[in-house]
Structure 1
Amino acid sequence: MTRKLIAGVAVLTLWAGSAVAQERREANADMRGLTVQLGGGVEGYTNALASDINPGVAYGATLVLKPTKVLGLEVGYSGAVNNFDRNSVAASVTTSGPDIIRNGGQAVATVGLTAAPLQPYLLAGLGLSHYNVRGSAPGFQDDNVGNVPVGAGLRLYAGNFTADARINYNVLFDQEFAAVPTADVSLPVGETFSKGGSYTGTLNFGATW
């Protein structure tokens, strides 16, 4: 009986110590307030667009407002550079560098699945991007494209430092920048556009005030 009592006290002591440590970490983590983040990663395309455009480099800057430990509101800039797949697109590029440059902005809401300093979360929002197609490629042209980003991520709060890893899929409103001859989406006006969306995976670092 004495051994069981001692074991029980030891377990309770360890549990209490763990709970206190967790409370201290939460108390020291700036999970509310205004956060500025910078980051980068990869951006690619899906379905028919994936066969024409290779994955490329993504980058961005984000301003995050968290009124609570769980709810977040974001506005930010995002960009990406991609090259055509020369096996499927007969492009004539007259300048060096990437074939497609995307610059855009988005507003996103995030909901944390926990209130802990290591916080998984879901996201959804609305964005608008300008696609600049460099050189000449049949069916591709400059265009403004709207998108709905949906995805998930994982944030780490340590003091006023924040690290954020996320991946999101972008549902494109239209793909008029890619009206390729092999398109698989037909519109009433007779134009055809390549079907597909885009995905973005980034790692971001920032500070909270």
Structure 2
Amino acid sequence: MKRTRMGVMAAGVAVVSLCASGALAAAGRESSADMRGVSVLVGGGIEGYTRSLGADIQPGAAYGATVILRPTKVVGLELGYAGASNNFDRSNVAVSDSVRGPDVMRNGGQAVATLGLTAAPVQPYLLAGVGISRYNVRATAAGFQSDTVGNVPLGGGLRLHLGHFTADARINYNVLVDQQFATNLPSDTTTPTSTTGTGGIYTGTVNLGSTF
């Protein structure tokens, strides 16, 4: 199921890429897109966990809002809010009570730098940054607790600029600095002092907004 959902998100990004490229190719000219300035985007998608964390926490909904400063056509600086809601996999995690709504809520912020691979209105890009999230574990489950966790987002995406309109599809992987919200999971055996070897977070989102 997890692989299927990741495949659907990847297919969605591919479809956006093909449609956007085809539309601009059909126009046969450079768009008058506003690629510099400040962009405000909101969006959503799917978020899941990998390795041991992925066995215990099911994929769930991701959502967020981002403000982007683009001093040039290829360089972007972002400040964003990112949240997600997930449930435990009850076949692997013993939950002693039930709650209304998601078992785990994540709310966080991140600062990200993006580098466009082209200066065209259809622009693939790479991203990297730093972030911090508050995990609110709402259901009572052994080995899981609410905690604040740092992360390093790495990934890439595709932006489409049409006039002031901006669309963005991205996939990123968040390397977790620590995982004390999941103390029942084993650490990375290849690095005895590590507590970050039990998994990370993958997120795929589609975001829409405007550039001013």
Task: Note whether the superposition's TM-score is higher than 0.5.
Answer: yes
Look up the match of 1:168.
Answer: 172
- Which sections of structure 1, spanning at least 5 residues, go unmatched? 1-17
User: Residue 125 of structure 2 aligns with which residue?
Assistant: 121
Q: d(CA) in 1 for partners of 2:48 and 2:150?
A: 16
* CA RMSD, Structure 1 to Structure 2 (Å): 2.0
Instruction: Point out 4+ residue stretches in structure 1 off by more than 6 angstroms.
Output: 186-189, 191-194
What is the TM-score with the length of structure 2 in the denominator? 0.83
Q: What do the CA deviations read for 1:17-75 (whole angstroms, capped 9, x no partner)?
A: x8x9423x1xx100000000000000000010000000000000000000000000000
Aligned counterpart in structure 1 of residue 182 of structure 2, from 163, 173, 178: 178
Contact conserved, 1:93 with 1:99, CA < 8 A, in 2? no
Give me the whole-angstrom Cα distance separating, in 2, the residues matched to 1:178 and 1:110: 31
Q: Does residue 198 of structure 1 match 2:201?
A: yes
Q: Would you say 1:60 and 2:64 are equivalent positions?
A: yes
Alignment-mate amino acid for residue 211 of structure 2: T
Structure 2 alignment gaps of length 5 or more:
1-24
SS in 1 for 2:52: helix
Letter in 1 for 2:186: A
Task: Count how many residue pairs are aligned between Structure 1 and Structure 2.
Answer: 186
Deviation at 1:139, TM superposition (A): 0.3
Shift of the alpha carbon at 1:183? Answer: 2.0
Identity over aligned residues, as a percent?
Answer: 63
2 CA distance for matches of 1:135 and 1:119? Answer: 42
Amino acid at match of 2:93: V
Equivalent of 1:208, from 196, 201, 211?
211
Instruction: Give the secondary-structure state (helix, strand or coil) at the position aligned to 1:108.
Output: strand
Is the 1:111–1:121 contact (alpha carbons within 8 Å) kept by the matching residues of 2?
Answer: yes
Distance in 1 (alpha carbons) for counterparts of 2:195 and 2:70: 42
Contact residue 179 and residue 192 of structure 1 kept, 8 A: no
- Give 1:188 deviation, angstroms: 7.8
* TM-score normalised by L of structure 1: 0.84
